[in-house]
Amino acid sequence: MLRLITGIAGPSGFGSASTAEQVTHEIDASNFTAIITGGASGIGVETARVLALRKVHVVIGARNIEAANEAKQMILNGNENARIDVLKLDLASLKSVKAFADSFIALNLPLNILINNAGIMFCPYQLSEDGIEMQFATNHLGHFYLTNLLLEKMKDTAKSSGIEGRILNLTSVAHLHTYEKGIQFEHINDQSSYQDKKAYGQSKLANLLHANELSRRLQIEGANITVNSVHPGLIKTNLYKHSDNLIKFLGVATCLLWKNVPQGAATTCYAALHPSLKGISGKYYVDCNEYQPGKLAKDEGLAKTLWDFSQNLINAKS
């Protein structure tokens, strides 16, 4: 907590006050291609901007194409040499996820980095077009499906280039505040027991469990791809649009804990590009330093159950 408030650097040399540009200073990633979901706003667009500044070819996946193109133009205005593409992606739609993956593969680009950044938070109960609770569908299931669809491309890229692939899941400290058993497998769509904040925590716990299980599988396989989870911190973005009153309270009560957007994107950019993380997988990062997640996030049995549940759900819906 002291480090968070003061910005004092941790073992990595960076801390809560570090910005995305600072943690990637002097890194040349000109041979890299990255996909960023939700790269049209908030920390997503800052992540896209800084990766492009480090010469990464960035592909933004976004539901709002107009906003994504505006973000692309903003990045180009500050960096005329930036390589940015925009593709339609609605993570709450399995059909859209499949179409995005097909469109990306058709571009015949390599894929070194996949940043599962997009998400929604504290929304009222609703179902996705596939009939799945919206926060679980958007924050976890869409990214789970997208990652699986792009995994062979990442393996091929890592093998042919010799460059380590990196997958990042953006999670949250909110993974500690979930339902009693972590994931309500038998009641994933139950409206009567729905609690918006616990449903969000459930989806963020799912992000961690997904990353850990995928990391385990890839290590067994010997694939040159790492998978890690990052908590960006408290940043006031449109992610909080469903919780205005809560934000007003938190803004006063926890004002010293909030980050600006460049600081919020730092841990993502650090985990995506920093050479010190080479070969490190299955970890959880906060303020550019490794932290221990909650007990449920380290439950291998729960992670395996979630994997099978997610795959079966996709098979049934798609």
pLDDT, averaged per 10 consecutive residues of the chain (318 residues), comes to 68 96 98 97 97 98 98 98 98 98 98 98 97 98 98 98 98 96 97 97 98 98 98 72 52 61 97 98 97 97 98 94
CA 257/CA 128 separation, integer angstroms: 33
Active-site residue 194, yes or no? yes
CA 137/CA 128 separation, integer angstroms: 7
pLDDT digit string (tens) for 1-11? Answer: 555 555 689 99
CA 54/CA 274 separation, integer angstroms: 11
- What pLDDT shows up at residue 8? 85
- Three-state SS for the chain is CHHHHHCCCCCCCCCCCCCHHHHCCCCCCCCCEEEEECCCCHHHHHHHHHHHHCCCEEEEEECCHHHHHHHHHHHHHHCCCCEEEEEECCCCCHHHHHHHHHHHHHCCCCCCEEEECCCCCCCCCCECCCCCEHHHHHHHHHHHHHHHHHHHHHHHHHHHHCCCEEEEEECCHHHHCCECCECCHHHCCCCCCCCHHHHHHHHHHHHHHHHHHHHHHHHHHCCCEEEEEEECCEECCHHHCCCHHHHHHHHHHCHHHEECHHHHCHHHHHHHHCHHHCCCCCCEEECCEEECCCCHHHCHHHHHHHHHHHHHHHHHHC
- What pLDDT shows up at residue 208? 98
Q: Which residue has the tokens 């997208």?
A: 146
Please tell me the total number of residues recorded for the chain in this structure: 318
- What pLDDT shows up at residue 105? 98
Annotated catalytic residue, options 194, 284, 285, 291: 194
Does the domain at 19-313 match CATH 3.40.50.720? Answer given as yes
- What pLDDT shows up at residue 241? 47
- What pLDDT shows up at residue 244? 56
Query: Which of 18, 21, 47, 19 has the alpha carbon at shortest distance from 34?
Result: 47
- What pLDDT shows up at residue 160? 97
- What pLDDT shows up at residue 235? 84
- What pLDDT shows up at residue 293? 97
For residue 31, give both structure tokens: 């041979």
Q: Which residue has the tokens 């799912």?
A: 206
pLDDT digit string (tens) for 235-270? Answer: 865 554 445 555 555 544 444 567 999 999 999 999
Beta strand pairing status for 284-286 and 289-291? antiparallel
Query: Which of 17, 39, 22, 4 has the alpha carbon at shortest distance from 237?
Result: 39
Query: Which of 214, 217, 197, 204 has the alpha carbon at shortest distance from 145?
Result: 214
Looking at the DSSP assignment, which residues form a beta bridge with residue 86? 60
